Every structure is written in C-alpha cells, then in structure tokens.
Amino acid sequence: MYTFGNIIRQLRKKQHLTQYDLAKGICSQSMLSRIENNEQIPNIVILQQVCEKLDIEVQQLINEERYIRDDSFSFICKLKTLFFSRKYQELLNLIETCPINQNKLEDQEKQMLYYLYAQSLYYLGEDNFKILEILKQAESYRKYGRAASLLTIQILSFKGKVNVSADNNKAVKMILKEVLAMIQEYAHQSSNRIWVQLYYEISNMYLYLNDTEKALHYSKSGINLSLENGTFYYLNDLLLLQGIILSDLGNLDVATDIIAITESLKRISLYEEK
C-alpha cells in the first residue's frame, strides 16, 4: 500500500514546516495535500525535490518505516533545528553528550553529525585545523561512484569557508572549482534555505580570491533566494558580505546603506530571540 504521504506529513511536521513551505517551488499546496493524504502518487521529480527540502534521500523515504521511529532520526532533527536557529553552544553540548549509539546511525546521519559538529566549533572560535580534521571524518562517509549528495556539497563548501579563514589560497581554489562542478546537478532544485548558505560560501570564496564580480553575483543570488523564501536565514551575512564587496568595488554609499540594513536585521533577530 502507498504510504509515502503519511511519512512526508510526519517528516514535514517534525521539521515545523507548513504545507505551503514544503510545496513552494515544487508543486501546488493542493497537490501536496493530496500526496500527504495518499490520494496522489508524486512523480519522481516532485518526490526528489520534496526529499531535498526534508533533507533526506529518496531511498531513505522508501525505507521510512524504520526512519520515522528511530531515535537517531529525532536526534539528527534536533541537531539541525539548533543549527538553523544558530544556537551553536547548545548544538555543541548536545553533540558532545550524544545520547545515541553512533553504531545505529546510517552513513548519511554520521556525515551530518560531523558536519554540524564542525559548524558549531567554527562559530565558537575553535582552531581551524581541528575543524578541518572533523570535516575529513564527515567526508569519509561520502559514497563515491554516484552523484554527490547535497550534504556532500554543503560539507565541501563549508570546508572552503574554513580554508578562507585559514588563508589557504590553494585549497580554496581547488574547493571552489569542485563545488561549482557539483552544484550543476542540483541547479533545477535550488529553492531551499540550504542554497542560501551555499551561495554565501561561494561568494565568500570568490571575494577571498579577489574575483569581486563573481562574488557579487553569488551574494545577490543568495539574497534573492532568501527574500523569495521569506526567511532571514543567512540574509544578514549575505548583506554584510555584499556591503564589503561593494565597498571594494568603490560603491561606498550603497555599501554603507547595506551595512545599516544588516544592523537593523541584527536588532530584529535579537528581539525575536527574547
């Protein structure tokens, strides 16, 4: 019996997404409602895009009877919620006191665990070398011989960001080239908030390599996507980065205006956290 709909609904609710949020850029809300009620079977393109927004792979959805029940899934969901909320200290504490037996985690879940571990350490000011070692562990769970997953691209682009901080020009060039090649496979699916962060990291690498025109292009792409999705996720970072880029290009008045906007967004963000 077809039960994907039940599973999609449960996953959506676990991630605090409305039907409108999940359907946006993929299909109509009414179609998603029919899918969730098991009244319509999604075609493979829609199924892949829904899975991408839910941060799982189609194969995992097929085996979801186990995936929904598992404590490991709830644990990973909790980690991602803390990450997207930018609660890095809480994220680090939860990872370091991991209540889940890691032997029960699937390879993609282990990949996500190490990726989020590296992210929390980066934003809490840990040594770049240690962060890169943890990212190596995340990359060790990559399945070669198949198309790179979106998570693999996230890990690689974040590795580029860490190498920018470490001032490793050669590594940044190599990583940027690889990331740009990988994202071509996902260009038609670039609608969720993960891409906002990817555009930021690509723009940041281009700025480091002194290619301000391409840095500006990707920062604009990230800002537009953030606004289309109605989310502040990474918007402040992108605007600040764009302000720096425009300043480098000599557009000081516009750069000053943009940086003023970032200060306003920061105050709004702090108000919402209270």
The pTM assigned to this predicted structure is 0.71
**pLDDT for res 236:** 82
Closest CA to 262 of 218, 221, 226, 208: 226
**90 has a pLDDT exceeding 90:** yes
Assess if residue 20 is contained within a domain.
yes
Q: Cα–Cα distance between 24 and 14 in angstroms, integer?
A: 18
Averaged pLDDT, 268-272: 46
- For 38-74, the pLDDT digits (tens) are 778 888 888 888 988 887 877 777 666 555 546 777 7
Contact 42, 81 (CB under 8 A): no
Assess if residue 156 is contained within a domain.
no
Assess if residue 52 is contained within a domain.
yes
Residue type, 121: L
**194 has a pLDDT exceeding 60:** yes
Domain total in the chain: 1
**85 has a pLDDT exceeding 70:** yes
Assess if residue 154 is contained within a domain.
no
DSSP letter string, 145-191: TSPPPHHHHHHHHHHHHHHHHTT-HHHHHHHHHHHHHHHGGGGGGTT
Closest CA to 16 of 57, 62, 54: 54
10 Å CB burial of residue 147 (0-12, 13-18, 19+) is exposed
Assess if residue 38 is contained within a domain.
yes
- For 150-189, the pLDDT digits (tens) are 889 999 999 999 999 999 999 999 999 999 998 887 766 6
Q: Domain holding 48: CATH number?
A: 1.10.260.40
Averaged pLDDT, 190-207: 87
- Structural domain for 53, as ranges: 1-68
Assess if residue 47 is contained within a domain.
yes
Assess if residue 258 is contained within a domain.
no
Assess if residue 239 is contained within a domain.
no
